[in-house]
Amino acid sequence: MPVVSMMRIPGDAKELEASAREHLTDVTERLGEKHGRILSIAAKTDDGLLLINLWEHEEGRHAMAEEPEIQDALRAAGFPPPSFEAHEVVWSSGVPAAART
């Protein structure tokens, strides 16, 4: 069953975005498919960034968070350790068929 996970990172959105692009983008692109990541979105909020990920399954999101490279990249970016809020997807539209229920 697909799941969506969200992580809020407080701070200056522009600085956080630059840090995410520098430290996280390549690692998440390289490891994401292996763990069933379907889609990632970074959105500016009033107090920082909101990272949203869509996963094929719950196990994949946990496995990705446990990857030493991901943990290192989060630290290098100055982000807190992975602490995501996650929810089972019950309906979706406009996303790849693998994410639809």
The domain segmentation of the chain, as residue ranges, is: 3-91
In this structure, are residues 61 and 6 in contact, taking their beta carbons and an 8 Å threshold?
no
| CATH class assigned to 3-91 | alpha beta
Residue the block writes with tokens 């200056």? 12
pLDDT tier at 98 (50, 70, 90 boundaries)?
Answer: low
- DSSP lists the bridge partners of residue 9 as 49
pLDDT in tens, 48-57: 999 999 999 9
The residue count of the chain comes to: 101
Mean pLDDT of 66-95: 86
Distance CA 99, CA 8 (A): 23
Q: How far is CA 15 from CA 4, 6, 9, 32, 53, in A?
A: 25, 19, 11, 23, 20
pLDDT tier at 80 (50, 70, 90 boundaries)?
Answer: confident
